[in-house]
Amino acid sequence: MLKASHNTGLVFFPAFDWAIDPTHPEREERLLYTQDQVIEEGIFDIPGIIEYKPSLVTKEDIQRTHFCVPDEQSITTESHLISAGGAKTIADAVLNKEVKNGFALVRPPGHHAMRVTHGGRGFCHINIEAVMVEYIRSAYGLKRIAIIDTDCHHGDGTNDIFWHDPDVLFISMHQDGRTMFPGTGFPGELGGPNAKGSNLNIPLPPGTSTEGYLYVIRNCVLPVLEEFKPDLIVNSAGQDNHYTDPLTNMNFSAQGYAQLTTLLKPDIAVLEGGYAIEGALPYVNLGIILAMAGLDYAGVVEPDYNPDVLKQSVSITDKIKKTTDQIMTFWSQRKQMRQAAGSPGEIMVRHRETFYDTDNIFERQKEKIRICRDCGGSFEVDSKATPGRHILGVHIPINACDACKEQAYAFYDKADPAKYQTIYLQDRPKDAYEIKGGCS
């Protein structure tokens, strides 16, 4: 008889009545065929597979992760709250040990949403994994968390949110940013001065096949995880590396996704992108579910799958090996890089520009962070959106040292209300969020 080797939780929330707009890839029918496949396969009847109804995330849940401008309500729809809530529901089920692992098959996605969010970017408004991770840290006190983003697009939102956090290992493997939205995620992007090497970006050349993906998992992701020793592994399981995806140029397969899941053994997987809704998603999702539940997935093969056609060229294999070696070198030098980044107590400034493709917003940021060896370091972000608002957000990391806490309060107190429309304080140690009104 078919029985999962352990309990696996699933949240399935296809949001059949929500779309960015009627012909947008992120629209109602995206998970329709996945639903058909999953239901026809009788997945929810398999002993050990438990389906959960998603909860809604609250304003407080979002405030742990984002500075929503002007506020949470303006940035999100109910669908975003349920989607993030689905991830949170799975987190609860896993951490309460009702299930060994879980998969949130939800939409809309979230991995392009950054800490400061003025609107939609890359189909994302709030970062559902990040909201979940911050919830887990506050509710369950877990310290070290690894997020492995296997979506074909660079998970720049998650990357941004954990940029300065040495306790969250973020690894994104994605199609080379020179050929793909959002155009970032190069090996040199290793994290902020206090967290160098805890962000690893692995760009893959167009045409990478199952062989290439699994090579990176075996030779880079797994060894790094082995050393990092996370308390929890999260997989941002984008499915747009598939050989039929209309938005990307990769050659990954349902079998490959299932094998990747078996190798990675994520505690929690959260669906991200994936827009080959008919030819790929039904099979990829089925493969991931079966792999999570420890069930045989040998029969999960796309009807038109032809491994010979999808084989990657020798030059691609070489490129991937080189990138992997480079990443492993960076990883081994992370401590020296943090030492070299600056001396404790020093304030470091960074300027950035971000374009919100979904909502056509241009944002300019000026960030100041305190160099610290004892914690992730407090920082402030001055953010001006066009069209939009000018705000200041101050963040105190969850395990902040006293010096960084003081620095953050100083940032907040000194912020000039005449200059900003709103000033926010994200006080993670107190699990509090404060707002100071500014000019309007």
Binding site for other proteins (CB under 8 A): 1-2, 11-18, 22-23, 25, 27-29, 32-33, 35-37, 39-42, 45, 47, 51-54, 77-79, 82, 246, 278, 282-283, 286, 290, 295-296, 298-304
Say how far apart CA 126 and CA 435 lie, in whole Å. 19
- Of the candidates 227, 254, 244, 123, the one whose C-alpha atom is nearest the C-alpha of residue 171 is 227
Please report how close the Cβ of residue 315 comes to other proteins at its closest, in angstroms. 30
Between residues 116 and 284, which has the closer beta carbon with respect to other proteins? 284
Q: Which run of H or E residues covers position 72?
A: helix 72-75
Between residues 278 and 325, which has the closer beta carbon with respect to other proteins? 278
Between residues 47 and 437, which has the closer beta carbon with respect to other proteins? 47
For residues 174 and 262, the answer to whether their CB atoms sit within 8 Å is no
Task: Please tell me which residue in 112, 118, 154, 242 is annotated as part of the active site.
Answer: 112
Side chain identity at 424, as an amino acid letter? Answer: Y
Please report how close the Cβ of residue 305 comes to other proteins at its closest, in angstroms. 9
Whole-angstrom CA distances from 12 to 49, 198, 254 are: 12, 31, 19
Whole-angstrom CA distances from 24 to 67, 174, 196 are: 26, 22, 37
CA angle 85, 90, 95 (to 5 degrees): 120
- Of the candidates 127, 379, 75, 366, the one whose C-alpha atom is nearest the C-alpha of residue 236 is 127
Is 112 one of the catalytic residues?
A: yes
Between residues 36 and 346, which has the closer beta carbon with respect to other proteins? 36
* Torsion, CA 286, CA 287, CA 291, CA 295, rounded to 10: 70
Please report how close the Cβ of residue 6 comes to other proteins at its closest, in angstroms. 17
Please report how close the Cβ of residue 112 comes to other proteins at its closest, in angstroms. 19
Between residues 25 and 342, which has the closer beta carbon with respect to other proteins? 25
Please report how close the Cβ of residue 252 comes to other proteins at its closest, in angstroms. 16
Sign of CA dihedral 19, 45, 285, 161: positive
Give me the active site residues, please: 112
